[in-house]
């Protein structure tokens, strides 16, 4: 009999009524589809509330103690969801990350899964129980509790599915993956199927429905993924190997990110080492560089622009201040009034001209393209804040991303 792993996020478990509704859904899946293992997040805003409690105690909580604290969030969910299942006559057993056998590295707050010992899960499933296990958490060889950091629950679900050779269904409060955000582009179409690769690009671009880390893991172990709405029977999106969707339209989706800042250097003495120096210092400060654009001005000066996350604003300014002397940078500035738009689609490989379309669409609307970067299946460009909706709608219309 098939095994499926279902993952329910915090918003689907925000109160007791929602937990009961999720239990009904699990009951149905068990009757219709086979054995079910469920991975849950902490209820609603529980994790944020726990973090606030810690912050009222100290501004620098110990990572080990934070993990001890945060572990309680999912533990409450698994107990309540198990009770809700039992109330419906469905045998269920809750398991913490430790009981689930999630062995992790020792890095508190950012642990990585080493392996899952599925002996007990299999035993419980074979005894016809629904396993309700805590996502996001694990345990080290020293029996210390850890958490997996961002996207942790999705990652637990996919890792468990990989070990059980199961299909993994991720339930959230949005109905699957769309070509673009329906809030920004009215009529945005839902995608019935998408490849791991596209999903990774889409997810890291702001369509944060499944964490890229989990998609990467699913891709590696070829776990069939499904993303849908927890409390509705609406159709969601299947995520699988790319080969299954080869003949699709050029563009799969369109994403917007408002979390970037652009760093610009002008009139810098041309030097091969300069960009490397800057990015090395950024790397040491844990700053992720995203887009990079470099231009030699014919002569001896060059121009460099790059983007990073808005939250790294101050660290970047500090690094640039430090380098001003050393690298003889006469003119540099941060631009925070930018939005990043990206189109993703495997069809781009075989269909040149998407970049041209983008530039033409922007210029026809007087939208300045402040920077651009391309990959095999993606084009991203920066536009000034305020013009993003117009830009998104133009692209969506051109590439047929909306219904009608």
Q: Which of the ranges 55-63, 218-226, 321-329, 346-354 carries the binding residues for a copy of itself, by CB under 8 A? A: 55-63
**CB-nearer residue toward a copy of itself: 22 or 392:** 22
Q: Which of 6, 41, 75, 172 binds a copy of itself (CB under 8 A)?
A: 75
Q: Which of 28, 31, 87, 267 binds a copy of itself (CB under 8 A)?
A: 87
Q: Which of 29, 51, 68, 323 binds a copy of itself (CB under 8 A)?
A: 68
Using CB under 8 A, which residues numbered 94 to 113 contact a copy of itself? 94, 96, 98-99
CA pair distance 363, 342, nearest whole angstrom = 16
Q: Which of the ranges 84-92, 151-159, 226-234, 392-400 carries the binding residues for a copy of itself, by CB under 8 A? A: 84-92
Using CB under 8 A, which residues numbered 134 to 153 contact a copy of itself? 143, 145
Phi, psi of 313 (to 5 degrees): -45, -55
Min. distance of Cβ 337 from a copy of itself in angstroms?
39
Interface with a copy of itself, residue 50, by CB under 8 A: yes
The DSSP bridge pattern shows strands 237-240 and 193-195 to be: parallel
CA pair distance 397, 404, nearest whole angstrom = 10
CA pair distance 216, 156, nearest whole angstrom = 12
- Identify any residues that bridge with 335 across adjacent strands, giving them in sequence order: 262
Residue 348 corresponds to which tokens in the numbers above? 């781009």
CB 148 within 8 A of CB 86: no
CB 116 within 8 A of CB 163: yes
Q: Which of 51, 64, 208, 335 binds a copy of itself (CB under 8 A)?
A: 64
CA pair distance 150, 88, nearest whole angstrom = 33
CA pair distance 28, 51, nearest whole angstrom = 35
Q: Is 175 exposed, middle or buried (0-12, 13-18, 19+ CB in 10 A)?
A: middle
Q: Which of the ranges 51-59, 178-186, 258-266, 321-329 carries the binding residues for a copy of itself, by CB under 8 A? A: 51-59
Interface with a copy of itself, residue 210, by CB under 8 A: no
The residue ranges that bind a copy of itself (CB under 8 A) are 16, 19-20, 50, 53-54, 56-58, 60-62, 64-66, 68-69, 71-72, 75-76, 78-80, 82-84, 86-87, 93-94, 96, 98-99, 143, 145
């Amino acid at each position: 009999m098939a095994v499926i792993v279902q993952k329910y996020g915090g918003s689907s478990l925000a109160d007791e009524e929602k937990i009961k509704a999720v239990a009904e859904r699990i009951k149905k899946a068990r009757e219709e589809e086979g054995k079910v293992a469920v991975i849950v997040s902490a209820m609603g805003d529980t994790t944020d509330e726990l973090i606030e409690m810690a912050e009222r105690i100290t501004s620098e909580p110990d990572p080990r103690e934070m993990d001890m604290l945060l572990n309680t969030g999912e533990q409450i969910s698994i107990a309540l969801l198990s009770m809700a299942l039992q109330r419906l006559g469905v045998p269920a057993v809750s398991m913490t990350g430790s009981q689930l056998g999630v062995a992790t590295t020792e890095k508190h707050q950012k642990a990585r899964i080493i392996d899952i010992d599925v002996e007990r899960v299999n035993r419980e499933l074979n005894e016809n129980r629904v396993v309700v296990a805590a996502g996001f958490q694990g345990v080290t060889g020293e029996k210390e509790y850890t958490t997996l950091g961002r996207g942790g629950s999705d990652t637990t679900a996919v890792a468990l599915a990989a070990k059980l050779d199961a299909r993994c269904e991720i339930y959230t409060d949005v109905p699957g993956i769309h070509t673009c955000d329906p809030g920004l582009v009215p009529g945005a179409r839902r995608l019935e199927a998408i490849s791991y690769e596209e999903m990774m690009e889409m997810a890291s671009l702001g369509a944060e429905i499944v964490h890229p880390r989990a998609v990467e893991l699913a891709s590696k172990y070829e776990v069939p993924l499904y993303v849908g709405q927890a409390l509705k029977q609406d159709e969601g999106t299947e995520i699988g190997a790319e080969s299954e969707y080869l003949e699709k339209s050029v563009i799969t989706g369109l994403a917007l990110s408002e979390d970037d800042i652009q760093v610009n250097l002008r009139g810098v003495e041309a030097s091969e080492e300069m960009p490397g120096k800057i990015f090395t210092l950024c790397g040491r400060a844990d700053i992720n560089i995203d887009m990079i654009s470099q231009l030699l001005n014919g002569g001896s000066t060059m121009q460099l622009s790059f983007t990073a996350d808005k939250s790294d604003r101050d660290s970047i300014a500090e690094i640039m201040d430090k380098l001003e002397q050393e690298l003889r940078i006469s003119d540099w500035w941060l631009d925070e009034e930018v939005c990043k738009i990206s189109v993703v689609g495997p069809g781009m490989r075989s269909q040149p001209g998407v970049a041209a379309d983008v530039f033409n669409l922007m210029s026809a609307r007087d939208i300045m393209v402040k920077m651009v970067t391309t990959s095999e299946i993606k084009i991203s460009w920066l536009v000034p804040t305020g013009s993003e909706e117009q830009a998104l709608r133009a692209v969506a219309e051109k590439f047929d991303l909306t219904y009608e």
